[in-house]
Chains A and B, each alone.
Chain A
Amino acid sequence: MQVKEYEQFNETSYQTKLDNGLTVTMLPKAGFHKTYAVFTTNYGSIDNTFVPAGGSELHRYPDGIAHFLEHKMFEKADHDAFQTFGKYGASANAFTSFTRTSYLFSATRNLRENLETLLDFVQDPYFTAKTVEKEKGIIGQEIEMYNDDPSWRLYFGMIGNLYPNHPLQYDIAGTTDSIAKITADDLYAAYRTFYHPENMTLFIVGKLNPDEVLDWINTNQAKKHFDAFQPIERKLPATAIDGHDIIPYRMIDMPVNRAKTVVGVKGLAPIEAGLPALKYRAGVNILLELLFGDTSQNYLKLYDQGVIDDTFGYDFELQNDFNFLTFSGETDQPAQFDAAIIAGLENWSSAVDGQEDLLAMVKKEMIGRVVFMANSLESIANRYDQRLFGHTTLFDEPATIASLTLADIQAIARQLLTSQAISEYQIQPATKG
């Protein structure tokens, strides 16, 4: 086991790769009652075109298949994994993102039984035509629920603008039409391709003894057979590096009281995985704080003018194959909101150049936030992403933040904030008829 001490934070991480390829990371937290474990496969909603395990040709699968598979993993021939977790007092859940599917539980008791339940249910697929059909009703309602959520529609509207030829634009759950096509065979094909231990990670944080837990995991895994791992071939469409495929503006009507708008910026350059990605994310977050954070001049000016209010927010989404910024809010004047944000982005240098003092303060703030996240098992676990950030944890972030200079921030801004990468999407209140 690789042991990494974070002396400043009085934390230690333990990491190892099992014989079957599974990467296990543990972070014990003294004084905590609960243990939180996340079992993740590097397989998400964008991976809808791939060569199925044992096959030789690319196949296009229905949108929403990764999420559908996530739902169906819980159901077995004679029981439901939720019931088993229930028997051991754990709270279990799962989620699918663009690039990952994660299964998790949290429990204050019966750690070994719950851990074995997690490993066993994810490593034992059971799909039949009947159970697949039944799930379509439930997921159909989930899709309908998100359809009525203006924030969700706004976010996916923007992604559709930035990635018009990319599966990123499709709702993670798919559509009622796409999931109607999913079969048990499709689920098995996806499962066999992406759920090999080599493509998975297990992260456990909280009340735990690393040696003991690793022992349990080894014993459990030794009982199971896995075929040799075949490298996964997935296909994602190329997106234009000059941004010419970006849709600059779209608008829809919804039954809302106030208009909502989002300005997006597509990251046109690929980001190197590992520590560089961790540093890039920190750098972009500092840049955003300097430009539109509540410590910035822009923020106060726009707030006092009533262009933005407390609903204003921004986000940076960074994954292996894509990255983009969003700035969103509710407003009575969406055009004015968008224009103000775009002006702030295009004139970034006036908010960044010479701001050494502000940079020092923002870095302090970001390092403090790491201390905040250290209190939360969920934050520590969800921050971990082996495929994107390598073997780093939350506690590697402060050193990364501290190392960033104003020149680094300027370099990021010059490269990221280009006019051709900017887009707008608005939701206008439907006229009541």
Chain B
Amino acid sequence: MQVQLAKGVQLTTVTSHQFKTNQIIVNFRAPIQRDEITKRALITNLLETSSADYPDQRALAHALAAMYGAAFGAGVSRKGPTHSLQLAITVPNERYLETDQPLTASAIQFLQNIIYRPLVHDGQFDQATFDRQVINLKASIDSVADDKQYYAAQKLNEALFADQPAQQIPSYGVTEDLADLNATDLYAYYQRILARDQIDIIVVGDVDVADVTTRWRSVGFTDRPTDQLAPFYQHKNLGHYVEVQEHQALSQAKLNLGYDLPVFYRDEHYYAALVFNELFGGSPLSKLFMNVREKASLAYYASSSLDTFRGVMKVQAGIDGKNHDQVLQIIDDQLTAIKNGDFTDDLVDQVKLGLINDFESSLDSQRTFAIQALIDDLTHREVSDEVWLQQIQAVTREQIQAVAQLVTLNNGFFLNGGVA
């Protein structure tokens, strides 16, 4: 069920008896701006660790433990040209515990306290908490580079979106922006988020819809200036291949490739693109897995993924650096093979079954409902489960080949190993 609490503020309630917990998510969404990404990440860290009612982590942790170990977290993410700051809490359903505590009501109250009663003095975030979280965010951004798969993926992203800084940097920010932030300006920016961002509240579980609605209505949300954000960012096709190389003292080299693929969420080529990706590198039955890993024994992982909110496809492989040219050739050959229709009908049927299995399995995760509600609110391209299944089943060989024709290799990032 969906209720509009104000212009740009939606409450979606999904009642289900399947889960033994209730989950509440509040998502703030705005057009992505290069200069706001790091601010939003830092605000997430502040909200996650302090508030007027729970001034330090211990007080906060006690409040959560008292709600039978409620899980609370905050995070940031990017979807096409939008950036989201999200707070989520999950509590056990009281009926499975020996307690009279109204846990769901407490959890809603807790989230509202966190959002509307931050730890603030004299118009600024608490200075000591601010300083600590600046240090921690810097450290955590720095150590992301220690995960080489992640590092290589980020370097590819930089190359792939060279024309658009807001798309280039990670959704959790960059360290060079941290130095310019202060507790006063950041609090002013937070006020802007509260007043202007699109807000989605999603409640999933065995809950009393009327009661949940009353509790959120009582916040008194005000209208947002706009109630529709652009859902897609169109990647600029370079038309040719450019590779960036870097050398580090590593045992395994990483080869990450970025392709232009102008297919967007639930547009005419969308379902065929899902099947194409599964066939190309999205599953253990795929061409990449079979040829790079199983036949040539050149990699432990070699896979592809789609970003249908930016119109790109990526391939990632962990290889021995000396096999760079051979791996690049095999990957390219697989794409050509699909373009030429060099795949069996059986394989198409199998990867479709795999996609259907993933889709039906995702219905067993409480989080799926919130993720889908957020996408639906952004794109307004809702379809029923039945239609989704029909669309996948209906994809033809010719449609898969047509998607392969739309793919253009643009950028590569090669992190070579050996002695630096």
- Interface assignment of B226: CB less than 8 Å from any CB of chain A: no
- Indicate whether A257 sits within 8 Å of B132 (C-beta atoms), given known contacts A141-B319, A145-B252, A294-B57: no
- Interface assignment of B285: CB less than 8 Å from any CB of chain A: yes
- Interface assignment of A53: CB less than 8 Å from any CB of chain B: no
Among B188-196, B213-221, B243-251, B304-312, which stretch is in contact with chain A? B243-251
A368 touches B97 (CB 8 A): yes
Among residues of B, the one whose C-beta sits closest to the C-beta of A32 is B364
Nearest-neighbour CB distance to chain A for B133, whole angstroms, equals 9
Distance A306 CA – B298 CA, assembled complex (angstroms): 43
List 13 additional contacts besides A145-B252, A368-B92; criterion CB under 8 Å. A8-B97, A32-B364, A89-B353, A90-B357, A138-B294, A258-B142, A258-B146, A294-B61, A311-B139, A364-B68, A367-B97, A371-B97, A430-B249
A31 touches B145 (CB 8 A): no
- Indicate whether A144 sits within 8 Å of B252 (C-beta atoms), given known contacts A32-B364, A294-B61, A300-B57: yes
B249 touches A255 (CB 8 A): yes
Residues of A within 8 A of B65 (CB): 295, 361-362, 364-365
Residues of B within 8 A of A256 (CB): 143, 146
Nearest-neighbour CB distance to chain A for B137, whole angstroms, equals 9
Residues of B within 8 A of A31 (CB): 16-18
Distance A364 CA – B103 CA, assembled complex (angstroms): 13
B92 touches A372 (CB 8 A): yes
The prevalent SS among residues of B at the interface is: mixed
- Scoring B18, B128, B252, B360 by chain A CB atoms within 10 A of each residue's CB, the highest score goes to B252
Taking a contact as CB atoms closer than 8 A, the residue among A30, A87, A257, A309 that contacts B145 in the complex is A257
Taking a contact as CB atoms closer than 8 A, the residue among A88, A311, A362, A366 that contacts B353 in the complex is A88
- Interface assignment of B394: CB less than 8 Å from any CB of chain A: no
Contact pattern, A 66-98, Cβ under 8 Å of B = 1, otherwise 0:
000000000000001011001111111000000
Q: List 7 A-B contacts (CB under 8 A).
A: A89-B357, A138-B297, A149-B147, A300-B58, A310-B140, A365-B64, A371-B20
B361 touches A34 (CB 8 A): yes
Interface size of B by CB at 8 A reads 72
Nearest-neighbour CB distance to chain A for B418, whole angstroms, equals 11
Taking a contact as CB atoms closer than 8 A, the residue among B64, B250, B251, B285 that contacts A83 in the complex is B285
Considering the complex, which residues of chain B in the window 59-105 have a beta carbon less than 8 Å from any beta carbon of chain A?
60-62, 64-71, 90-93, 96-98
Taking a contact as CB atoms closer than 8 A, the residue among A33, A90, A297, A309 that contacts B363 in the complex is A33
Distance A106 CA – B98 CA, assembled complex (angstroms): 33
Taking a contact as CB atoms closer than 8 A, the residue among A107, A304, A310 that contacts B357 in the complex is A107
- Interface assignment of A210: CB less than 8 Å from any CB of chain B: no
- Interface assignment of A299: CB less than 8 Å from any CB of chain B: yes
- Indicate whether A91 sits within 8 Å of B358 (C-beta atoms), given known contacts A371-B21, A372-B71: yes
A258 touches B69 (CB 8 A): no
Distance A374 CA – B20 CA, assembled complex (angstroms): 7
- Interface assignment of A171: CB less than 8 Å from any CB of chain B: no
Distance A144 CA – B297 CA, assembled complex (angstroms): 14
Contact pattern, A 105-137, Cβ under 8 Å of B = 1, otherwise 0:
011110000000000000000000000001111
A371 touches B57 (CB 8 A): no
Chain A residues proximal to chain B, CB less than 8 Å: 8-10, 30-34, 80, 82-83, 86-92, 106-109, 134-139, 141-142, 144-145, 147-150, 206, 255-258, 293-297, 299-300, 303-304, 306, 309-311, 330, 332, 361-362, 364-369, 371-372, 374-375, 377, 430, 433
Distance A299 CA – B65 CA, assembled complex (angstroms): 15
Chain B residues proximal to chain A, CB less than 8 Å: 16-21, 56-58, 60-62, 64-71, 90-93, 96-98, 128, 132, 135-136, 139-140, 142-143, 145-148, 248-252, 283-285, 293-294, 297-301, 318-320, 346, 350-351, 353-354, 356-358, 360-361, 363-364, 366, 417, 420
Distance A249 CA – B255 CA, assembled complex (angstroms): 36
A367 touches B68 (CB 8 A): yes
Distance A375 CA – B17 CA, assembled complex (angstroms): 11
Among residues of A, the one whose C-beta sits closest to the C-beta of B56 is A300
- Scoring B68, B135, B301, B354 by chain A CB atoms within 10 A of each residue's CB, the highest score goes to B68
A141 touches B300 (CB 8 A): yes
A137 touches B297 (CB 8 A): yes
Nearest-neighbour CB distance to chain A for B389, whole angstroms, equals 11
- Indicate whether A108 sits within 8 Å of B249 (C-beta atoms), given known contacts A371-B20, A375-B20: no
Residues of B within 8 A of A368 (CB): 67-70, 91-92, 97
Taking a contact as CB atoms closer than 8 A, the residue among B96, B143, B285 that contacts A86 in the complex is B285
- Indicate whether A138 sits within 8 Å of B146 (C-beta atoms), given known contacts A108-B356, A255-B250, A306-B132: no
Distance A144 CA – B346 CA, assembled complex (angstroms): 35
Residues of A within 8 A of B61 (CB): 293-295, 299
Among residues of A, the one whose C-beta sits closest to the C-beta of B71 is A372
Nearest-neighbour CB distance to chain A for B22, whole angstroms, equals 11
Distance A107 CA – B364 CA, assembled complex (angstroms): 12
B350 touches A8 (CB 8 A): no
Residues of B within 8 A of A90 (CB): 357
- Indicate whether A134 sits within 8 Å of B297 (C-beta atoms), given known contacts A145-B252, A296-B58, A304-B56: yes
Among residues of A, the one whose C-beta sits closest to the C-beta of B91 is A368
A371 touches B96 (CB 8 A): yes
B68 touches A33 (CB 8 A): no
A109 touches B357 (CB 8 A): yes
Residues of A within 8 A of B147 (CB): 149
Distance A137 CA – B301 CA, assembled complex (angstroms): 12
Among residues of A, the one whose C-beta sits closest to the C-beta of B146 is A256
Residues of A within 8 A of B299 (CB): 138, 141
- Indicate whether A106 sits within 8 Å of B136 (C-beta atoms), given known contacts A141-B319, A148-B148, A255-B248: no
Residues of A within 8 A of B62 (CB): 295, 361
Distance A299 CA – B190 CA, assembled complex (angstroms): 28
A89 touches B96 (CB 8 A): no
Residues of A within 8 A of B142 (CB): 257-258
A142 touches B68 (CB 8 A): no
A137 touches B70 (CB 8 A): no
Residues of A within 8 A of B251 (CB): 144-145, 147-148
